[in-house]
A and B are shown apart, each in its own frame.
Chain A
Amino acid sequence: QVQLQESGPGLVKPSETLSLTCSVSGGSVSSDYWSWIRQPPGKGLEWIGDIYYRGNTNYNPSLKSRVAILVDPSKNQFSLRLSSVTAADTAVYYCAREYCSGGGCYLDHWGQGTLVTVSS
């Protein structure tokens, strides 16, 4: 059973860079796609982007200029960096495995999520 766990600072100052890591167990980041999704308090889900183990990335156009997703097969982890954060980036951040089969892709395993607050 694939398990994912997000980790990183819960508080980030405005204009700084948010950095989160997702540790994967029961599976390998050297296969499939791996995704980041966020959810502002009381709001819906927003897809941030994903990465294939070979380094291919896809990003939400609305965040593309500020986002980087990286993968580290040696640690079986992948990470999210979001620069120049504002209060609007306050959200629960989830990592997930994106399983692609039969021409489609979907998020079949999720981390529990971590709340990141942007505040001075």
Chain B
Amino acid sequence: DTGVSQDPRHKITKRGQNVTFRCDPISEHNRLYWYRQTLGQGPEFLTYFQNEAQLEKSRLLSDRFSAERPKGSFSTLEIQRTEQGDSAMYLCASSLSGTGSSLTQYFGPGTRLLVL
């Protein structure tokens, strides 16, 4: 296992279309996180899973966004009826369970979304 992978790396879509991104975490990691990063900003937390359970969702995650991790392995993030403001880098990270100093997340390369 070489790390967290994300697909696609780039996506261009027209406003109003739906898009789906996939994240494959490090195989033994039970936690998976989604972040959004816009130009000039740090990553903003969107949601995270422990195994297949979605434990927390940010207020940033509008009802057009949905994330799943059906078998506790890979995850998908879907954006419905995309808007230009959704243009960003979508980052996925995985980790083992833990808090504080024991929480080390490993990030994927991200999916860059451009909504025209």
A binds B: no
